Amino acid sequence: MKVLIVEDEKTLAYEMEAFLKKGFYLCDMAHTLAAGLEQLELNKYDFILIDLSLPDGNGLEILKSAKKNNPDAAYIIITARTNLKDRVNGLDLGADDYLAKPFYLLELQSRMHAIARRKFGITEDLSPIGEFNIDLQKRIILFKEQRIELSRKEFDLLSYLLLHKNRVLTRVQLSEHIWGTFVNDDYDSNYIDAHIKNIRKKLNIWADTEWLETVRGVGYRIKK
């Protein structure tokens, strides 16, 4: 998943980036309000982490803009402010959570997992997908009790499709949110197709993968 960190304390911002990258998140950073707004004009994100006290303005402006341009993202306000009004304003504007500084990075990760589970309707540790089960946090896929080995990007691709099940995701969307780059439509994003082919090949040994659908000319989706 792709994350935008809007934080002017650079040491904290880089610590958050390094920690989240270990959890297989893709991270962009902005240290000012202007830089954050610019990133939102250029990219789509799954999570946006926003500090309120930015050197050139209030981080709530990021939230206002993001809700218009990036409505599918989840938002966490991260700030040292203790004013209840700031917290209420952020939540009223659509923030999903509020994390007060100082905080443990594990707590941030836990809250992001909780938001993702709530947002995508995941109620169990193991999510069924055809005859398979996926544990998104432990990053494993099982057929009955047999663990199936996927590469890091294969798992990222499959889990992202699962989180958006029944929704067609284009190759451009998959590339941006998993690889962090846009693809050229003329190039036809062959590397995404190759990963899908490899996933099917590995899973078809155990059971069929009719639920992993190719939508011709558009992209892919996982059907219920």
Domain containing residue 16: CATH number: 3.40.50.2300
Residues 115 and 148 in one domain: no
**Contact partners, residue 128, CB within 8 Å, separation at least 6:** none
23 membership: H or E segment, kind and range: none
pLDDT for the residue numbered 181: 62
Do residues 35 and 7 share a domain?
yes
**Residue 132 backbone phi and psi in degrees, to 5:** -110, 165
Q: Is the dihedral of CA 34, 40, 43, 48 positive or negative?
A: positive
Tokens 């089960």: give the residue.
133
Residues 218 and 132 in one domain: yes
Mean pLDDT to the nearest integer, 59-87:
83
Position 72 scores a pLDDT of 85
Distance, C-alpha 67 to centroid of its chain: 16
208 and 163 inside one domain: yes
Question: Are both 93 and 12 inside the same structural domain?
Answer: yes
* Domain that includes residue 37, residue range: 2-119
Can you give the pTM of this predicted structure?
0.81
The last residue of one of the domains, among 85, 119, 153, is 119
Q: Are residues 113 and 200 both part of a single domain?
A: no
Confidence of residue 187 (pLDDT cuts 50, 70, 90): very low
